[in-house]
Structures are given as C-alpha cells and as structure tokens.
A and B are shown apart, each in its own frame.
Chain A
Amino acid sequence: MGELSRFWRESNHRYRMIAIKCGNCNEVYFPPRDVCPKCHRESIGKMQETQLSGKGEIVSYTIVHDAPPAFMRQRPYVLALIKLDEGPTITGQIVDADHGALEIGKRVRNVFRKVREDGKSGIIQYGYKFVLEE
C-alpha cells in the first residue's frame, strides 16, 4: 500500500508535470521539493507550484536492451536525460521514435502514457514520457 499512496501523492507531477519554484531564487525543481537546497530556510513558505511546458531537449540518451520484465513488450526502449525549457534536467523515456532519428540536442515534448502495471489486478500507473517534436 506504501507505493500506492506515494504514487497517488505524486500524481500532480507525474500526470501534469507540475514543478515547484523557489520564490527566493526562482530555481525550478522537478520532481518537486519541499525546501530549496540553495536557499534552505529562506525558501520556506515561498515554494510555489508551477506548470511546466513539458518541452525540452535531449542532453544524452541510451537504448536499453537489458530491460526489466515489465518493459519486455517495449524492448529495446530509450531512456534520455532531458533538459526541460524551465531549467530542470530529468530522466525520461522517449517513445514512438525511430532510434536512428535520436540525436543529442533534439527537441522533445511530453506525452501521457502507462508507466507501470501492478500485475493483472493492481493499479495502473500513468505518467509523463516523451516523443520527438516534429
């Protein structure tokens, strides 16, 4: 049940890419943080939700062949480091891409996909993934 409640708590950022902006230094954090690691106490009470555009560019990527069982139907899949337009760099899966078209610096945008299924009877977890911008 622990994971279920964690996922539920995180649905704002996983479903809609809601980040947290420090009102003191304007740094954007994604995944969200409660306190700004730069401003510490100065940021308390100033951390505000902000909507990310879901757009960014590929900083680096890898094609994963040794995939966990849950990814068997998507093997090989693409994991990328993506620098979002608002600043944060995150790890995300790139889907529906011709692997030959992948390049560092290419623009991506977010899509809503199934992230994980907890067996045949458990909860289905959804969240952001990325596609190449065309």
Chain B
Amino acid sequence: MSGIVSYGSYIPKYRIKPDEIARVWGEDPESIRNGIYILSKSVPSPDEDVATISVEAARNAMMRGNIPPRDIGSIYVGSESHPYAVKPTATIVASAIGANFNMFAADYEFACKAGTAAMQNVKAMVDSGMIKSGMAIGADTSQGAPGDALEYSASAGGTAMIIGKEKVIAEINDTLSVTSDTPDFWRREGQPYPTHGERFTGEPAYFKHTIGAAKKLMERVSTTPKDYKYAVFHQPNGKFPTRAAKQLGFSDDQFKDGLLTPQIGNTYSAAMMTGLSAILDIAEAGDRILAVSFGSGAGSDAFDLTVTDQIDTMDRKAAPTIRELLSKVIWVDYAIYAKFKKKIVTGDNIE
C-alpha cells in the first residue's frame, strides 16, 4: 500500500510572544493568551519566504529518507503565500533539490489545506502508477493585518511529505475530503491581508468540516477514537483543535504531541502536516494516526494512517526533528517583527 516514505519540516528560528503584540495594540495579554492558547509564534526572517521554507523542508525529507532526487516524480506545493502570483514555487523547489526535468509539478491553493490536498493527489498518482513517488509540501508565511486578531496567530513554517509505495513508514489506509462554499475567511487578489467572516469562523467552518471529515473517515474504515494512538488536526489556534478532538472523543494523550500551535502559532498550510511530522518523529510501528486538515472557504482532508516497522530502519535524526526545531529560537520584539514582515514600509527606491 502507498503511504509516507519520508518527511521533513522547517520552522523559522525567530519567535514573538502574544504579550508583545498585545502590548503594542493595547490589548490584555492574559485574555489573548487564554483566548487563543498561543504562547509564541514563529516569524520568518526577511530573506525567507514560502520557496525557501519549502526547499528546507524538502531537503530535510530527502535527507531523512535518503531519497535521491531522481525518485521524485512530482512536486506539489500548497500555500496561500506563494512568493509569486505567477511563477510556481514548485519550479524553484524542483531546481533547488535537483529534481528531474521530466516531472509533474504545480502549486496548489486551498487556504490551509492546500498541502494535504497535494498529499492526496500524490497518493493518487502513486496508486495509479503515474509516478513511483512524489512530494507534497505545505508551507506558509501568513500575514495578519496589524492589530487584527490574526496577528497573534499567523506564523510561518513548512512540511514536506514524500509519498510512494516502497519503504513506506506510514501507510495511508484511506483519505477523504469534505467541501462546501463557506465565507469564513478570504483574501482578494492584490490585497495584502485576509478578511474573516467573524461569525463563520468557528462552528460552520472549522468544526463542521474538521469533525465531519473525521467522522466520515472513521465510519468508512470502521474505527473509533480508541483505535488511534495519535490524532492531529488543523490548528489555527490552540483552542479549536483541542475542542474538536474532545468532541470526537479523543483524549489529551492522543492529540497533545501533534499540537504545535501553542509554540509556533498557525503555520496555515503547514499546520496539520507539521503536527503529523512531530508525531512521526516519535511514533512506533503499529501506531494508528488520524490526521485532519481544514482549509477556509471551506473544506477538510482526513487521513487514516498506520505506522509500519519500516520506521525502525529509518534514521529519524538524520534531519532536524520538530523538538529540535522548537528548541532553537531567537526572540524578537514587535518592532523587529514589523520590520521583518514588511509592516514597516520604507521609502521609494530603498528596497
């Protein structure tokens, strides 16, 4: 059966605390922290973007699985912050990892689930025999408008999953999606910051799709929460995935290892995939994992995975683990953050 052959993540080293953002905008840091359960978020350096983050994640996945570039039959990059409006990030990643000229590639877009949509497509291509193995990347350097609630959570990171049929460390037993036209969150072409349809963000968007997809998938593969060692969900903040997990009947022990938002914020397209990456860092053969993403607009992709004994032969430390990526940080204040994120605009002809 096809599944994950290797995986790799990258999280920028800079971090800012919500307290610092609250200080600038005159909000109560305690209520912000409790409201969204985010203790810090990652900030990309001025020389980082979705292309550089994707390349680092891709290289980590190839290093960990010792995968030669010629084995990569497709590269799909899911993001809502591609550096170019026209010129695929996938082309830059392909060149940077030395992939074949003869290869499938494209950029995907579906808010925060573009990367998992890429995983589904790569799996389908592997299953159909179009390719031997391929790479799906979810990466973002998302932006929240200054002073907006999203500024406390929108962060940066990326994860690459290599999917194939040989040396599979986690079989994808099944996957399905749910989709509906929901106005919970959007960004019009040319606008720097997104807009959220306040009353649509929770119940009719995140919870309906995430829980709906999880339930449908468990029904299809005849499982209940107790069949899973781990569960990981899209994590726009620390609160939503916790509530969804509990509502589905998962315990703290099952979802805590995949919940990274409290430390790194919402990495959008990378959020669920990076949580899955953290789980694969520690999972053992036989462990079953439920992984559900969510993308505004809206939809969810659900995956039922089983870790194989191939994971014991993989040198998981050959690339940085999530724990390592979380441990090395440089704290910045709001002024440096605003400078890095180009929220401070320079005069003409300077940049």
Contact = CB atoms under 8 A, between A and B. Distances in A.
A binds B: yes
Contacts of B339: 73
Interface in B292-351: 328, 330, 339-340, 342, 346, 349-351
B117 interface: no
Query: Chain A: interface secondary structure?
Result: mixed
A11 B95 contact: yes
Interface residues of A, number: 22
Interface string B208-251: 00000000000000000000000000000000000000000000
Given A69-B350, A111-B56, A112-B55, A74 B47 contact: yes
Contact of B45 (A96, A98, A119): A96
A70 interface: yes
A4 to B, nearest CB: 13
Given A74-B47, A95-B47, A117 B351 contact: yes
Nearest to B327: A134
B129 interface: no
A104 B49 CA distance: 30
Contacts of B51: 114, 124, 126
B304 to A, nearest CB: 33
B92 interface: yes
A5 to B, nearest CB: 15
Nearest to B49: A114
Interface residues of B, number: 28
A73 B59 contact: no
Interface in A84-134: 95-96, 98, 111-115, 117, 119, 124, 126, 129, 134
Nearest to B97: A16
A126 B351 contact: no
A25 interface: no
A46 B84 CA distance: 39
B334 to A, nearest CB: 15
Contacts of A117: 351
Contacts of B48: 113-114
A61 interface: no
A58 B277 CA distance: 32
Contacts of B26: none
B204 interface: no
A72 B351 contact: yes
A112 B52 contact: yes
A113 B52 contact: yes
Given A72-B350, A73-B339, A115-B47, A98 B95 contact: no
B98 interface: yes
B13 interface: yes
Contact of A16 (B52, B83, B98, B328): B98
A112 B46 contact: no
A129 B13 CA distance: 15
Nearest to B350: A69
Contacts of B346: 72
B178 interface: no
Interface string A49-88: 0000000000000000000011011100000000000000
A114 B52 contact: yes
Per CB-CB distance, the 4 closest pairs between chain A and chain B, nearest first, are A73-B46, A112-B55, A113-B47, A114-B47
29 contacts: A15-B95, A16-B96, A69-B350, A72-B346, A72-B350, A73-B46, A73-B340, A73-B342, A73-B351, A74-B45, A74-B46, A74-B47, A95-B47, A96-B45, A96-B330, A98-B330, A111-B52, A112-B52, A112-B55, A112-B56, A113-B52, A114-B52, A117-B351, A124-B49, A124-B84, A126-B51, A126-B92, A126-B96, A134-B328
